[in-house]
Amino acid sequence: MPPPSHLRPEPLISSPVTRRTVLKAGGTLLLSVFAPMSAMAAQILAVRVWPADDYTRVTLENDSILKATHFIVKDPERLVVDIEGLELNPTLKGLVAKIQSNDPYIKQVRVGQNRPHVVRLVFDLKEEVRPQLFTLPPAGSYNHRLIFDLYPVQEPDLIAQMIEKGDWSSDPNKPLMTDTHTPPPALPLPDSGKPPLVVVIPGVPATPTLPAVRPDPRPEQRPEARPQPGQKVVRMITVALDPGHGGEDPGASGRRGSREKDVVLAIAKRLKAKLELLPNMRVMLTRDADFFVPLGMRVEKARKVQADLFVSIHADAFVQPTARGSSVFALSEKGASSSAARWLADKENQADLIGGVNVGNHDKQLASVLLDLSTTAQINDSMKLGAAVLREIGGINRLHKGSVEQAGFAVLKAPDIPSILIETAFISNPEEEAKLTDNGYQDQMANAIVTGIKNYFAKNPPLAKSRMT
């Protein structure tokens, strides 16, 4: 006997109409699932702009990988960037206010929702540029980054820039280094109006003052020349100073918020000013403002100006705040001289990951320079320079180690330039952080390095180059 009708179960799908109703309900459910997914567009977390003479960098930090296309519009010059999978938000709108009036390449930027899920940036340019767009994976404290680098079409002449920015070329009374196959006279260290300190080299006669000669801004085109008997070779000494980190790469940080990139730039600028007061000395900074320079490009810049020395300036950090002291490092051909030196070199060599390098645009010749192990002569000279500088630094701060250490620092791999890396102090140590941000200590550190360089040249005169008088 069948059960009463009120107890019979209802069929799941009793008719085609009911089936369509269920399918429609399922479609509605799918739409409700995908609707929030489409609304979850990539989020811009921060925008940063790093203007510099070398190039201007624009960084968009975001929570996922972004895809962007770009093109140039002429008359007037504009760079147009379309970013997919993005909705306009207040952080991205803030890019407009980030453009500074003194930016060498960007006049202004306009930001708008070009179409659904596509944001368009239009950069009004001050001159023609070579744009490079690339993405970076998360590194250090950063999330995903979309990078726009705007380079000038005409690559700057670094030696001409030194002549333009330096005051050393305007003083006709400055004596020039001369080479008559004997060591040059010692270089005096200026001391605020006091008579210059001169290191006397036994057996080296005083050299008469020669008229200043403006260096040729195109050293690669200078004809090779050999000095005739009795001729003196005019010799400008070029020092490349390398303030570590910069721009996207802040370097180490202190408890009081001090950043390595700021401290070492301040010391480098003081050092540059003091070196340029010495006779026949000119200085190139690998960066003179807050922007990032890849490790290999720092080496390349020094080689382009035919530097006689390369000095990279840093402020160390360690996990323990008790670590303290100054150190000097040279390149090692066979491995680090200590586990601490190896650890530091590995950390410093990661700067490109944090600062952001367009790997696809690396110059093959530059890569070969970085991979080329420096000659034994270069390392020997670097050790001599390091010892001379370390001796002077030890007079103003405790030394972390009493001898020059060695490790595989990428920034020291110029095969033809004596190169050292100076850790001025531990910025992670509260006492030394206070020193590093003190004008007096920065001045003492710069003076110590100048004296070390001067003493190095007194015993190791630079070889003659091809400019004669």
In Å, how far are 22, 24, 25, 330 from 28, measured between CA atoms? 10, 6, 5, 68
| pTM of the complete model | 0.75
Structure tokens, 313 = 């300036």
Low-confidence winner among 33-42, 175-184, 287-296 (lowest mean pLDDT): 175-184
User: For 349-362, how does the pLDDT look when each residue is reduced to its tens digit (9 = 90+)?
Assistant: 778 888 888 876 55
Q: Give the torsion sign (CA, 408, 409, 410, 411).
A: negative
Cis peptide before 243 (omega within 30 of 0): no
Q: How far is CA 381 from the centre of its chain?
A: 25
* Mean pLDDT of the residues in the chain: 78
User: For 60-80, how does the pLDDT look when each residue is reduced to its tens digit (9 = 90+)?
Assistant: 999 999 999 999 999 999 999
**pLDDT-based confidence at residue 222 (cuts at 50, 70, 90):** very low
What is the arithmetic mean of pLDDT over 377-385?
A: 92
Q: Which amino acid is at 207?
A: T
The DSSP letter of residue 142 is B
State the pLDDT at residue 336.
Answer: 73
State the pLDDT at residue 162.
Answer: 75
State the pLDDT at residue 26.
Answer: 46
Q: What totals of helices (H) and strands (E) does the chain contain, helices first? A: 12, 18
Asked whether residue 234 carries a pLDDT value surpassing 90, the answer given is: no
**pLDDT-based confidence at residue 193 (cuts at 50, 70, 90):** very low
State the pLDDT at residue 377.
Answer: 84
Domain chopping of the chain, boundaries:
44-152, 158-459
State the pLDDT at residue 464.
Answer: 59
Same fold, 44-152 and 158-459: no
User: In 16-157, where does DSSP find H-type helix?
Assistant: 16-39, 90-93, 95-98
- CATH class, domain 44-152, is mainly beta
Q: Which CATH superfamily is domain 158-459 in?
A: Zn-dependent exopeptidases (3.40.630.40)
Higher pLDDT, 468 or 398: 398
Instruction: For residue 150, give the nearest of 134, 172, 137 by alpha carbon.
Output: 134
What is the arithmetic mean of pLDDT over 316-331?
A: 90
Cβ atoms within 10 Å, residue 20 = 11
Share of the chain above pLDDT 70, in %: 71
Asked whether residue 259 carries a pLDDT value surpassing 90, the answer given is: yes
